Amino acid sequence: MYPANTVVTDVLLGKRTSRTPVWLMRQAGRVLSEYRKVREDAGSFKKMVTTPELACEVTIQPVDILGVDAAIIFSDILVVPEAMGLRYEMEENRGPVFPRRIDSANDLRDLHIAQAEELSYVMDAIALTKRELNGRVPLIGFAGAPWTIFAYMVEGSGSKTFSRARRMLYREPELAHHLLDMITASTVNYLKGQVKAGADLIQIFDSWAGVLGPDQYDEFSLKYIRRICDEVTGVPRIVFPKGAFFARRGLNDVNCEAVGLDWNMDIRESRQLMPDKVLQGNLDPCALYATRDDIRKATIKMLEAFGPDKHIANLGHGLYPDTEVDSVRCFVDTVKEYSEKVRGRK
Ligand code: 1CP
């Protein structure tokens, strides 16, 4: 039996903790040889995502191997469009691809608002992982923000500019809102299902927030994130609006407990713009390519800028797959040791 570690949820609920909590986006993944082994045996990414035992196994690996303070359920944001009727494929070294994409109002006829039951494999993975974790650390559920999901559904794959998705916002804003509305309703059902299955907190990934300008971000993204946060209640919510530095003031009054910062966002300025929020982040994932000594220094500099309160340490985006495991450990250990020492002095 392990003692319960609740530092992540405690910080989110405004409780005092003995140190700063830490976890990493993409902590379950190719950086771990243990992950690569499961992935190889499974044969495909989708097989892992849809098999609760495998998803559970790789979800818990970073808790054991890296000592992080939370687990995040192994899945992908693109399971939602798939449940709505738009199947995705995960191509090796390329990422997700949609054989069919959304181009016109006609294409919406094949879509429906997804119900949580249509993603029962995720709910089963969450329930199983909760049992296996047995209270060791909280389990994070997640979904993509409607704008980011929309971007993949219209573009058909990843993209540097998402110009096809953005073109729709200018040419057919009503169609765009109709699709965003359906994605939002599906996401609310999905996240409520995750909470019911046992997720202790949730994170909304708006990975492509930064390709929109401020006005379009308000209209086509933030509006829908607000709706999700208003409707999915009962657990703490973290919103990660990658690249949307211009939206920080607006995010301060979204109904969420925390906002994730990427490494381009100034920490002290973010505190001023979002005084009511717990902040999460934001070390540049590339900082982990530096020497151990420099990783330590960069991590401490980040911790000092955030200060000891209202902070969950993380990277500014997902861990890159070719990062050395010992460098990741160095980051995690530095957060724990340094923040504990600072607390002890206070
Ligand atoms: O087997 C593999 O290594 C495939 C790589 C991989 C992994 C490990 C993909 C493909 N997805 C995942 C898992 C994943 N995806 C998690 C697992 C939990 C964890 O963090 O440990 C999470 C939270 C996601 C979420 C996700 N998928 C996002 C949001 C976060 C982010 O990185 O911005 C996005 C944008 C996706 C789409 C996606 N899935 C996979 C790739 C390579 C991509 C990005 C494609 C692109 O660049 O457009």
CA atoms within 13 A on the CB side of 329: 8
Q: What is the pTM of this model?
A: 0.97
How far, in Å, from the CA of 170 to the mean position of ligand 1? 28
pLDDT of 345 reads: 75
Residues 145-154, mean pLDDT to the nearest whole number: 98
Residue 99 Cα to chain centre, angstroms: 25
CA distance 218 to 200: 28
How remote is the CA of residue 1 from the centroid of ligand 1, in Å? 32
Where do the structural domains in the chain lie, given as residue ranges? Answer: 7-345
Q: Per residue in 109-120, pLDDT tens?
A: 999 999 999 999
**Residue whose CB lies within 8 A of the most ligand 1 atoms, among 22, 26, 240, for a mutation test:** 26
Q: Which residues line ligand 1 (CB under 6 A)?
A: 25-30, 39, 45, 72, 74, 76-78, 90, 95-96, 142, 158, 205, 207, 318
For the cut 90, the answer to whether the pLDDT of residue 93 exceeds it is: no
pLDDT tens column, 189-248? 999 999 999 999 999 999 999 999 999 999 999 999 999 999 999 999 999 999 999 999
Report pLDDT for 1. Answer: 58
The C-alpha atoms of residue 323 and residue 172 are separated, in whole angstroms, by: 42
pLDDT at 92 over 90: no
Q: Looking at the predicted structure, is the pLDDT value of residue 6 above 90?
A: yes
* Structure tokens, 169: 């916002």
Q: Which residues pair with 241 in a beta bridge?
A: 206
Tell me how far the alpha carbon of residue 320 lies from the centroid of ligand 1, in angstroms. 11
Q: What is the DSSP letter of 161?
A: S
Q: What angle do CA 10, 14, 73 make, to 5 degrees?
A: 40
What pLDDT is recorded for position 346? 65
CATH topology of domain 7-345: TIM Barrel (3.20.20)
Residues 294-330 have pLDDT tens digits of 999 999 999 999 999 999 999 999 999 999 999 999 9
Mean of all residue pLDDT scores within the chain: 97
Q: Taking a C-beta distance cutoff of 8 angstroms, is the pair 176, 216 a contact? A: no
What is the Cβ-side half-sphere exposure of residue 71, based on CA atoms within 13 angstroms?
A: 32
Atom of ligand 1 nearest to the CA of 59: 21
Just list the catalytic residues.
Answer: 26, 30, 39, 76, 152
